[in-house]
A and B are shown apart, each in its own frame.
Chain A
Amino acid sequence: MRSWHEFITMGGYARYVWSAYGVVLIVLVASAWSSCNGLRRILFRVRNYPVGGGEQ
């Protein structure tokens, strides 16, 4: 088991490791958000404009 300090500093590679994991977190969360949001919006449309799903 490694110490808390070793975990944070990543043996000197903290800059690279944590920014890589940060980018992954941001991109995965953003794609989840946009996917869910897309479904929410289309559901709203078909519910509120049942015929034709609310053509623009």
Chain B
Amino acid sequence: MTPRRQRLLLVVGILAGTAIGAAFALRAFSGDILYYYTPSKVFAKHIPDGRVFRLGGLVEKGSVKRESGTLTVRFVITDNHRTIPVVFTGVLPALFRPGQGVIASGHLDSGGMFVANKVLAKHDAKYMPLKIYNKKHGTDYTRPGGMNRGGVRGGA
């Protein structure tokens, strides 16, 4: 075996060793680094009232209700199987809208209502101009659903 081949094998060995180690570590972690619970998982795991956790799912269409004069908003998070009602007081992110994936952190109260102190909205990784969105969905929004209320986020 030439010295160069020895060094090649050494490098390949280091690479393989690290990759296998990392793979085992990731497998061991994969159960623990669950970033959020879906409504079905919440029901399956019986999370005690008052324990703080993250709840993730889709904002059920037609469920968003804003209390007039306050920053309080009520909506329902669904995973198309089970649902959990959510109440939140504060500023919602720009990507929040019905049908959108969201992650809320907070706790369940005794009545089964999720009291959120933070609501984060997921992005669907899609980018398109409003004109194309309107064409695709047969809508006629004039403003993007960003910081204003008149755009896409007001609809659905």
Contact = CB atoms under 8 A, between A and B. Distances in A.
A12 B150 CA distance: 14
B144 interface: yes
A12 B144 CA distance: 11
Interface of B: 144, 146-148
Interface of A: 11-13
A11 B147 CA distance: 8
Q: Is the interface of A mostly helix, strand, loop or mixed?
A: helix
A13 B94 CA distance: 10
Nearest to B144: A11
Nearest to B147: A12
Given A11-B144, A11-B147, 6 more contacts: A11-B146, A12-B146, A12-B147, A12-B148, A13-B146, A13-B147
Nearest to A11: B146
B148 to A, nearest CB: 7
Contacts of A12: 146-148
